[in-house]
């Protein structure tokens, strides 16, 4: 018990998430013992990949403070996938599809970054606007219909597994998190992000290029959304205009649950990945129990509010 | 003529621009579509503006305070279900008109409790509530539409007083009430003070929590009133009822000149913003633009207006901060 009490920061977050995860798994085991299998693990990680990439971008943007938030992640995922598929349809060589996806995401993210840094529009309102513009465009450009025609050579990567772990998770989500973790902890640039989030004024005074760093982070969030879009293409074999639906809520919940402070400057990406796995396990479990998917958005929403309230209360009682 | 001059001089530059924009797109659409400039279509636009106008008034209060509520459209949906259920249970229709605002106020109270007492940024808190309310709507409706509701409410709101429909009087009354609260009471003054700087408002002895609670409750009540009009007009409620209203309201209010950083607002601007948005949406539909483009246009308009505002040097760089605080 005393050891538990001595836990703090990232270790505490991970301990709580692990405990919650065990509770979710235990509940699932009691309600439906057959649901626990290697296949379920594969499914959970497969579904986790897209959310993990989106949540990483969200976490970085929030971490850098300045009221940072990216409500457009879901829209960016949808629109990157659709833009890449439309480009393919318009005669782009199929080899370029992955690049097109990622570049599209990067550009959408940079547009957010420009609104926030160059025009100093509040991130919440700027990305709320682009959220509707991006997700609306994805629907309007396609009339809501999935775009088929993803090249066959991409599918083995999207659907394959390595020792039960899906390839996109191993080759995209995991490296992205490891890289982000290393950059945040071991490089000056990573420390700048914490410094900006902790106290932007001081960060500016010591000469950190706050605006440029923030612009890059929004671009990065968009780029990760582009990678998530690519994963969805390789997995489903078609571009779905609503693939990013609810990702803004889920990525935000994952970031908060993972211990990122809402006002920035505090938190790490390890917790975010754990939170993503927890969230997706919960969602998959509900799906296994035949609970209507409409419940997912409510439960995730409640979780988001609960996490933030718990954070407030723990500060008050400390 | 002098009257007109006086009336014009009470409008600010922003409001004149909006008025001009309304006139300009009306002329443009009238020349592009023969159906646009008809009395029937004008009535349709007015009719479609009612809910947005009421919700926009509440959103004006919230944004002026430095708050926001992205769940407000779904709050209207929930209130509409309450009104519909009341009508379906043969409740006295006069009583049914109270159910909507009451439900709205109650949900506003919940929002305020989460955002104000929980000290959660309004955008994050209401995004979470949006998820919860969407599930709530599904659970309450059981996946089915609420349809074929009695016409009793329609008859009450359609009745005329001095030759003008009762509904018009009620909307005018709601506008007047919000205007009075904002411009003629200490509540309004405190609200704007909080929008300017919550810290300074608190130091000046303003009960910040009370004022913020009141604003969220009023906003919820207005959404509930909007729900009453919605049920009276369409006599059905579906899963997606109200789902686009929050974005529309934010866009209209921001277009109207209310600052998203708080501290500055314009009710007339909100009315004009609502009209502009609804005329635009109606006109685009009539010239053959698919309705899927509506969110693109609204979102794009929101970004464009904010960008132009900044480029015109109207937002100060020093006021950055969580709008939700």
pLDDT confidence tier of residue B253, bands split at 50, 70 and 90: very high
The pLDDT score that the predictor gives to residue A315 is 67
The separation between the first and the last C-alpha atoms of chain B, rounded to the nearest angstrom, is 46
- Please state, rounded to an integer, the average pLDDT across all residues of chain A: 89
The pLDDT score that the predictor gives to residue A214 is 95
- The phi, psi pair for B118, rounded to 5°, reads -75, -10
Which of A24-38, A117-131, A231-245 is predicted with the least confidence, judged by mean pLDDT?
A24-38
CB contact set of A252 (below 8 Å; sequence gap of 6+): A58, A69, A304, B124, B127
Judge whether B293 is closer than 8 Å to chain A, CB to CB.
yes
Q: Which B residues in the span 73-132 are in contact with A, Cβ-Cβ below 8 Å?
A: 114, 118-121, 123-125, 127-132
Token output for B118: 């929980």
Number of domains in chain B: 1
DSSP 8-class letter at B184: S
Nearest chain A alpha carbon to B118? A309
Q: Which residues of A touch B311 (CB under 8 A)?
A: 119
- In angstroms, rounded to a whole number, what is the distance separating the alpha carbons of residues A9 and A259? 8
CA angle B157/B160/B164 to nearest 5° reads: 110
Which of A188-202, B116-130, B226-240 is predicted with the least confidence, judged by mean pLDDT?
B226-240
In a domain, residue B300? The reply is yes
In a domain, residue B27? The reply is no
- The predicted-structure confidence for B134-146, as pLDDT tens digits, reads as follows 999 999 888 778 8
Region A278-295 average pLDDT: 87
Q: Which residues of B touch A197 (CB under 8 A)?
A: none
Region B126-155 average pLDDT: 86
Asked whether the predicted pLDDT for residue A147 surpasses 90, the reply is: yes
In a domain, residue B28? The reply is no
Q: Do A120 and B320 touch (CB under 8 A)?
A: yes
Residue B285: give its domain's CATH number: 1.10.3470
Range of the domain at B286: 33-310
- In angstroms, rounded to a whole number, what is the distance separating the alpha carbons of residues B313 and B319? 13
In a domain, residue B139? The reply is yes
- A46-276+295-310 is classed in which CATH architecture? Orthogonal Bundle (1.10)
**Which stretches within B65-116 are classed as H helix?**
72-88, 93-112
The pLDDT score that the predictor gives to residue B89 is 83
B262 CA: distance to closest CA in chain A (Å):
11
Asked whether the predicted pLDDT for residue B154 surpasses 90, the reply is: no
Please state the domain extents for chain A. Answer: 46-276+295-310
Asked whether the predicted pLDDT for residue A254 surpasses 80, the reply is: yes
- Please state, rounded to an integer, the average pLDDT across all residues of chain B: 87
A73 CA: distance to closest CA in chain B (Å):
14
Asked whether the predicted pLDDT for residue B325 surpasses 50, the reply is: no
Neighbours of A87 (CB within 10 A): 17
Nearest chain A alpha carbon to B239? A294
Asked whether the predicted pLDDT for residue A2 surpasses 50, the reply is: no
Region B182-203 average pLDDT: 90
Which of B37-41, B87-91, B252-256 is predicted with the least confidence, judged by mean pLDDT?
B87-91
Q: Do A122 and B260 touch (CB under 8 A)?
A: yes
């Amino acid at each position: 018990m005393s050891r538990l009490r001595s836990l703090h920061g990232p270790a505490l977050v991970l301990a709580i998430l692990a405990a919650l995860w065990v509770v979710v798994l235990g509940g699932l085991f009691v309600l439906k013992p057959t649901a626990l299998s290697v296949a379920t693990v594969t499914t959970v990680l497969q579904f986790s990949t897209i959310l993990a990439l989106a949540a990483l971008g969200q976490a970085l943007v929030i971490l850098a403070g300045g009221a940072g938030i990216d409500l457009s992640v879901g829209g960016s995922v949808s629109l990157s996938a659709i833009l890449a598929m439309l480009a393919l349809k318009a005669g782009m060589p199929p080899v370029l599809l992955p690049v097109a996806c990622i570049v599209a995401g990067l550009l959408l993210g940079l547009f957010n970054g420009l609104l926030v840094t160059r025009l100093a529009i509040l991130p919440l309102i700027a990305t709320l606007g682009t959220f509707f513009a991006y997700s609306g465009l994805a629907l309007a450009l396609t009339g809501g219909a999935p775009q088929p025609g993803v090249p066959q050579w991409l599918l083995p990567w999207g659907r394959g597994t390595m020792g039960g772990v899906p390839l996109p998770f191993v080759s995209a989500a995991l490296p992205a998190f490891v890289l982000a973790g290393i950059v945040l902890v071991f490089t000056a640039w990573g420390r700048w992000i914490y410094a900006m989030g902790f106290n932007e004024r001081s960060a500016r005074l010591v000469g950190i290029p706050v605006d440029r760093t923030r612009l890059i982070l929004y671009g990065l969030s968009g780029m990760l959304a582009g990678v998530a879009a690519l994963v969805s293409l390789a997995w489903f074999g078609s571009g779905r205009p609503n693939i990013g639906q609810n990702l803004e809520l889920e990525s935000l919940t994952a970031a908060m649950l993972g211990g990122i402070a809402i006002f920035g400057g505090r938190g790490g990406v390890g917790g975010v990945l754990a939170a993503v796995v927890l969230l997706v396990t919960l969602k998959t479990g509900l799906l296994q129990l035949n609970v209507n998917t409409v419940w997912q958005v409510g439960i995730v929403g409640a979780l988001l509010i609960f996490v933030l309230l718990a954070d407030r209360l723990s500060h008050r009682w400390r | 003529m002098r009257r007109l001059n006086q009336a014009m001089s009470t409008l600010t530059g922003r409001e004149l621009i909006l008025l001009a924009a309304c006139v300009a797109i009306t002329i443009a659409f009238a020349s592009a579509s023969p159906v646009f400039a008809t009395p029937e279509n004008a009535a349709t636009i007015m009719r479609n503006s009612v809910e947005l106008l009421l919700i926009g008034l509440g959103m004006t209060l919230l944004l002026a305070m430095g708050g926001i509520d992205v769940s407000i459209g779904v709050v209207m949906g929930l209130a509409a279900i309450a009104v519909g259920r009341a009508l379906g249970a043969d409740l006295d229709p006069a009583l049914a008109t109270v159910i909507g605002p009451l439900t709205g106020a109650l949900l506003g109270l919940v929002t305020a409790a989460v955002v104000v007492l929980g000290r959660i940024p309004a955008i994050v808190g209401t995004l979470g509530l949006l998820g919860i309310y969407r599930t709530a709507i599904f659970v309450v409706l059981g996946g089915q539409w609420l349809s074929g509701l009695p016409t009793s409410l329609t008859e009450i709101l359609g009745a005329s007083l001095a030759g003008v429909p009762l509904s018009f009087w009620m909307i005018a009354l709601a506008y007047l009430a919000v205007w009075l609260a904002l411009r003629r009471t200490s509540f309004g003054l405190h609200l704007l003070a909080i929008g300017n700087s919550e810290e300074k408002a608190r130091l000046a002895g303003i009960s910040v929590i009370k004022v913020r609670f009141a604003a969220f409750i009023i906003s919820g009540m207005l959404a509930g009133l909007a729900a009453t009009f919605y049920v009276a007009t369409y006599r059905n409620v579906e899963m997606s009822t109200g789902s686009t209203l929050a974005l529309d309201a934010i866009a209209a209010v921001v277009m109207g000149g209310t600052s998203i950083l708080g501290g500055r607002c314009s009710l007339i601007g909100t009315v004009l913003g609502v009209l502009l948005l609804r005329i635009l949406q109606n006109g685009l539909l009539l010239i053959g633009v698919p309705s899927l483009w509506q969110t693109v246009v609204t979102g794009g308009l929101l970004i464009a207006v904010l960008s132009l505002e900044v480029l015109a040097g109207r937002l100060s760089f020093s006021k950055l901060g969580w709008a939700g605080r």
